[in-house]
Amino acid sequence: MQAVTTALAVEYAGLSVSGHVRDHNEDRLGWAALDGDSAFVMPPVDYTLAQAVATSGQGLIFAVADGLGGYGGGEVASGMAVEACLDHTQRNVDGSGRLSGILRGAFYRANQAIFDAALGGRGGRKMQSTLSALAITPGEAHLAHVGDSRVYRRHHGELEILTADHSQVMELLRLHIITPEQAVDHPARYALTRSVGGDITVRVDVRTERLDSDDSFLLCSDGLWSNVTASEIVEALAHSPAEASERLVKLALDRGGDDNATAMVIRVREAGLRPEAPQGWRRLFS
């Protein structure tokens, strides 16, 4: 019988391109080990596939951000968002299982950093970004999200979307004012109702899911998900993270490539075991 381990083993890859229309890339992606002291943030270059395999007893965090080009400084905002998110989470994780709160704090820090930088004249005066983060620990997946970048999961062969877009068109859908068919090309589909750096405070969606071996995740910007179908995503996630990233980005480029497109794919080789919480009176003194 195979031994059960508490360690987490994952394979991951990321790819970001500017597309055929934009002259620069305002998307950023990055990752860090929660038990390490360094992080990787992909620079704004095209067709540079970054990939790795990692085993960790404490976990890893992944993030994707998409700067809002309409306000200027989008590439500055997205870079700051990813860097602040990874740094804050690394510095504050302590193995206590409080990752949802730590991720929320990481988003608050990213929001404040971008807001202050804009006021100080670094980047655009109203620069903003989306931000989606996934922290994987033994037995659990923790998500935090603002904007319309997305996190998908392939779980037992089925595709789930784990985030809700913070956009005007999504609000119209929730209120049943428009139909899903009308939403596809609605003029409000890119207008966000929440962003990181857009105001002095930000509301963050957080959730925690059980993690299973063979789960695969996709973090992506709207330039990717708006050009691929759910069936194409679930089929791509059946392959290695490197191949899945390249397949999905190529599809976005082949269908016009009118926006930056970013894919960050994570496959869980071994989910590990979530540490048991102290029970009864032991909890009071742990």
Q: Specify the 3-state DSSP secondary structure of 50.
A: strand
- Look at 85 and 185; give whichever has higher pLDDT: 85
Say which DSSP state 277 is in.
P
List, for residues 98-127, the tens digit of each pLDDT value. Answer: 899 999 999 999 999 999 999 888 877 889
Place 51 in a pLDDT band, splitting at 50, 70 and 90: confident
C-alpha span between 252 and 116 (Å, rounded):
34
Residue 114 falls inside a structural domain: yes
C-alpha span between 164 and 238 (Å, rounded):
23
Q: Are 17 and 254 in contact (CB under 8 A)?
A: no
Residue 237 falls inside a structural domain: yes
Q: How many domains does the chain have?
A: 1
Residue 65 falls inside a structural domain: yes
Q: What is the mean pLDDT of residues 76-85?
A: 96
Residue 54 falls inside a structural domain: yes
pLDDT at 180: 66
Residue 190 falls inside a structural domain: no
Measuring CA to CA, which residue among 266, 274, 286 is closest to residue 52?
A: 266
Residue 279 falls inside a structural domain: no
CATH number, domain with residue 229 = 3.60.40.10
List, for residues 180-236, the tens digit of each pLDDT value. Answer: 656 666 565 667 899 999 999 999 999 999 999 999 999 999 999 999 999 999 999
Torsion of CA 107, 110, 111, 114, to 10 degrees: -170
